[in-house]
Amino acid sequence: MGPKALCLMIFCALMAWHMHATFSADYEEPWRVLFIHFLERFFHIMASVLENLGIMSYWEFYSIITQVYMKGPISDENITVTETKINDILVRYYVPKRNSHKLKRAIIFFHGGSPKFAKIALLPYETFARQAANRLDAVVVAPDYQQSSKYHSQTQWNDVSDFVKSLLHPETLAKYGVDPTRVCITGDSAGATITAALTQQIMGDSEIPIKPKFQTLIYPALQMLDTDLPSFRENEHTIVLPKSLAIKIMSEFYTTDESLQQALKSNQHIPAEYSHLFKFVNWSALLPERFKKGHVYTNPIYGSSEIVEKFPGIVNPILHPLLASDSMLRLLPLTYILTCQHDVFRDDGLMYVTRLRSNGVQVFHEHVEKGFHGSFFFISWPFHTNLGSRLIDNLFSWVDENL
């Protein structure tokens, strides 16, 4: 046996051992999920090795391999798809072709994934936007974010905030035949973070004439104060988004400086002067009882002021919706929140459900016991799952009924 074959066998054996050690059978379609888990771990290892060798960055590798999974703005017999650049961000419009004398509904869709490489052109997001436009007879507006490493959270936030504000005007919506009383904002993962933050800002701004009828948040990430929630502990080695990768993505919203990443891992990154914010993420008070089982709440261990002074955005309620005041939350519209059991961000969504309901906001909450972060968008070959298709069907039915 040659050395290359031996190395390959050793690598495969180590991969098999690692996956056996970290994979839970508590998933729907476990063999299909295991295939997804294998590819995710393989790509993660390749990206990490190439970055450590100085060949390319972690996210450059993902940008390259996802190119084969991109789809251009191609119209079909049902939908006209156009793409344009507005305020330095790329925006796709999906407009149904069917003739109707009635004004259409509109869905503003913010995709998830890492802002370093994910785009609306990525096939699962593109498929979702196209299906939403066709099945709901709705105009779907899907903005991208700036993705260069020099653009971090505040720039991305300013981009999308300015764009959505310009969109929510009667004359703008009239160009696309949209009923201004039937507009919603939706997003998954990082896109759900933007959706929640934007909805708070829009509802609190009297100068924005059109308000969303509701928001839909698919496994949202809503805070960076506490990275030791029960969901972080339980899902440290979960598939698709283990704790280490989640922390890497969160920190790189702000900086490539690894000091923030290390501080988040230690969960001692918030100084005592921000102690008043911890009531908004106190899982012992905000989580339903069944999600607390087996976990003991401990008071926060405060860190130095250095991290917050360097990266003040991590305690900014505008960027982290779970930190918003009760008075802000009372302004919010009907909200749909989906959470998954096997997800580090599960408890962010669960605590937001509790806080919204405590402040009189009507919430429809769907919790997926055998779901994981990303479940919603495994809807395209070769990563299609029945769970992903069912979750989208459920969401479309709810949107159709409420928009």
Q: Which residues are part of the catalytic machinery?
A: 189, 343, 373
Query: Could you give the CA distance from residue 112 to residue 375 in angstroms, rounded to a whole number?
Result: 12
- Residue in the structure block whose two tokens are 């973070």: 193
Q: Which amino acid makes up residue 228?
A: D
Residue 160: how many CA atoms within 13 Å on its side-chain side? 33
**Cα 190 from chain centre:** 3
**314: alpha, beta or left? (left if phi > 0; alpha if psi -120 to 50):** alpha
Bridge partners, residue 188, by sequence: 218
184 vs 195, 274, 283, 299, CA distance in Å? 10, 33, 29, 38
List of residues 6+ apart from 212 with CB closer than 8 A: 108, 183, 184, 185, 199, 202, 203, 333
What's the CA dihedral at 324, 327, 331, 334 to 10 degrees?
70
Grouping H, G, I as helix, E, B as strand and the rest as coil, residue 170 is: helix
Query: Could you give the CA distance from residue 211 to residue 191 in angstroms, rounded to a whole number?
Result: 18
Burial of 274 (0-12, 13-18, 19+ CB in 10 A): middle
